[in-house]
């Protein structure tokens, strides 16, 4: 099976006890149990070896890696600890709310009208009698109290609220789309 071939490949790479191990998409084609085993192995190997993981599966990066290097067009655009890279990119506040008591359109319009709200999206369809919404705010503003007060004022039921950080996928997309990375790369070229 592919899982056993992966294990044999990893074992043969470890025979000489190398200081550096490079893995390219090590979990592609594996079943969920094998993926967990390979991720655990990579974490264990990382304690004694330098492990480089090349993958487009960002949930795998988040689960295994302590440090991330993002390369765009052959240039490094980010090189940070995994938990720091999302914090650095987080300029906006991100929240999820589950609200009932009005139509999705009415709730969405009311949320949009709140101070510091920059974006509101409905998440999925109706869930029982409630609707889910993703809300982004400018400058990291926390609108949870305002949403709670809005629901009390309108006699809506607030089923849930949570603050969300950026996912690694969001960070990657921002880095790839961000003109600032292009500008910083151009400035680095000029200094040479």
82-96 pLDDT, tens per residue?
A: 877 766 666 667 899
Q: What is the pTM of this model?
A: 0.55
Reference 125, options 103, 141, 93; nearest CA is: 103
Assess contact for 154 and 101: CB atoms under 8 A: yes
Give Cα 133 distance to the centre of its chain: 18
| Band of residue 186 on the pLDDT scale cut at 50, 70, 90 | low
How confident is the model over 101-148, as pLDDT tens digits?
999 999 999 999 999 999 899 998 888 889 999 998 887 789 999 999
Residue 181 makes CB contacts below 8 A (sequence gap 6+) with: 72, 77, 175
Q: Are strands 93-100 and 130-137 parallel, antiparallel or unpaired?
A: antiparallel
pLDDT exceeds 80 at position 15: yes
């Amino acid at each position: 099976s592919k899982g056993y071939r992966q294990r044999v490949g990893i074992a043969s790479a470890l025979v000489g006890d190398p200081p550096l191990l490079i893995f390219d998409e090590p979990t592609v084609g594996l079943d969920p149990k094998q993926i967990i085993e390979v991720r655990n192995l990579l974490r264990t190997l990382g304690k004694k070896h330098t492990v480089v993981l090349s993958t487009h599966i960002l949930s795998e990066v988040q689960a295994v890696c302590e440090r991330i290097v993002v390369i765009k067009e052959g240039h490094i655009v980010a090189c940070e600890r995994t938990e720091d890279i999302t914090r650095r990119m987080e300029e906006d506040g991100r929240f999820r709310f589950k609200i009932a008591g009005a139509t999705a359109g009415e709730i969405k319009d009311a949320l949009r009208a709140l101070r510091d709200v920059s974006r509101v999206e409905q998440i999925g369809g109706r869930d029982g009698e409630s609707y889910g919404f993703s809300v982004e705010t400018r400058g990291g503003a926390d609108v949870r109290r305002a949403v709670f007060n809005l629901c009390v004022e309108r006699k809506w039921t607030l089923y849930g609220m949570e603050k969300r950080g950026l996912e690694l996928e969001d960070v990657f997309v921002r880095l790839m789309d961000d003109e600032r990375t292009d500008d910083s790369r151009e400035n680095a070229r000029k200094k040479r």
